[in-house]
Structure 1
């Protein structure tokens, strides 16, 4: 199923809508709340980008200006509130994100697709390095989640729970791959090692490479 083409498709826009649905706010206030909620772990949050997103949401009728505020000698700040159209867009967007898997480009996947550029020994060493980092991150996320669950309802920590689960699953997969490489049970390991040592592909590997180029 193809994702809908949205008038404001930046995921920061969804974060903004989910914040101003509480009450009218100015962009700086929205940014402060998003950072306080740890949203910077999911996306880059810069005031300039947030102003742009807010203007685009207003342009398409998802938020509207309700006034301005001023604190001391600071410039006036425009206050926005969500509209009925914005509420409908937010709910529809969340429904789509939760219900429909979509391909998400990942840097690790890109690296794995060309793992043959490395020797088996270097690939193993780098995967061990990745696994160590993943295990440290999982431990930190697990500790943080356990702590937060003591005071925050699980409903508001679901995304953290999911992120921990995906990191743990990746760590388990990398651990399994390392076992195959270390034990020598990885299929074609000898051919891969010989290719990196001599620079010559076996006929079977060369055929596979050419087949990929033709597709």
Structure 2
């Protein structure tokens, strides 16, 4: 099952819709609410483009102006609220993203796919640095999560819990991969090492003339 094409696909637009689901707000208040509720740790929030996102949501009929405030000499503040179409878009978009796995392209996967350009010993050194950093972040995350659980229901911490699990899973994988390289049990590791020592591509690493990239179904 593929994700439906949407008029807006920016995750920040989804975060804005979910924030306005709480109550009508002006864009500055939306930004402050996102920051206060910790959404900037799970969504890339560019506060400079938030006004543009709100304007695009209004253009597509997902939000509408509900009021205009003016306090003293301050500039007017336009209050936006969800329309019925916006509520429908929010719930359908959330349902799609929860139910349908999509291929994402984290930069670490890109680097792993190109890892052969570095010699094995250098990869070991760099991954050991990464593993140490991951372990520190995971320990810090466990402490922060335990502290937050003292005052907040778990429902409001599931993204923090997920981030911690992903950190721990990555650390476990890196630890195992490092062990394979160090022990020499990783298939092809000696040929990989030989390539960097001699500059000659081992026969098993050469692509056959009729090689074609595998096609993936979408």
Range into which the TM-score falls when normalised by the shorter chain: over 0.9
Alignment of 1:34-183 (within 5 A): 34-183=34-183
| In structure 1, distance between residues paired with 2:112 and 2:159 | 26
Hey, what's the Cα distance between the residues in 2 that align with 1:125 and 1:51?
A: 44
After superposition, give the CA deviation of every residue in 1:6-51 in whole Å (9 maximum; x if it has no partner).
1111111111111111111000000001011222222332333110
Q: Which moved more, 1:156-165 or 1:35-44?
A: 35-44
Q: Please report how far the alpha carbon of residue 173 of structure 1 lies from its aligned counterpart in structure 2 after TM superposition.
A: 0.3
Counterparts of 1:178-193 in structure 2, within 5 Å, are 178-193=178-193
SS of the residue 1:81 aligns to: strand
Look up the match of 2:197.
197
**Which residues of structure 2 form unaligned runs of 5+?**
214-218
Deviation at 1:84, TM superposition (A): 1.2
- Check conservation: 2:131, 2:175, Cα contact below 8 A: yes
Task: Give the root-mean-square deviation of aligned CA atoms.
Answer: 1.4
Q: Is the Cα–Cα contact under 8 Å of residues 120 and 192 in structure 2 kept in the other structure?
A: yes
Question: How many matched pairs?
Answer: 213
Confirm or deny: 8 A CA contact 1:27 1:47 kept in the other structure. Answer: no
Between Structure 1 and Structure 2, the one with more helix by share is 1
**TM-score, L = length of structure 1:** 0.94
Distance (whole Å) between structure 1 residues aligned to residue 93 and residue 41 of structure 2: 20
Give the stretch that moved more between structures: 194-203 or 67-76.
Answer: 67-76
Corresponding residue SS for 2:207: helix
* Residues 20, 30 of structure 1: 8 Å contact kept: yes
Q: Which residue of 2 aligns with 1:15?
A: 15
> Which residue does 2:216 correspond to in 1?
none
CA distance in 2, matches of 1:48, 1:117: 38
Shift of 1:162: 0.8
Report the alpha carbon displacement of residue 72 of structure 1 after superposing the two structures with TM.
3.6
TM-score between both structures, scaled by the size of structure 2:
0.93
CA displacement 1:77-96 (0-9 Å, x = unmatched)? 11000111111111111111
How far did 1:211 drift? 6.4
How far the C-alpha of 1:183 sits from its partner, in A, is 1.2
Tell me, in whole angstroms, the C-alpha distance in 2 between the residues paired with 1:129 and 1:72.
55
Kept in 1, the 8 Å contact 2:42–2:159? The answer is no
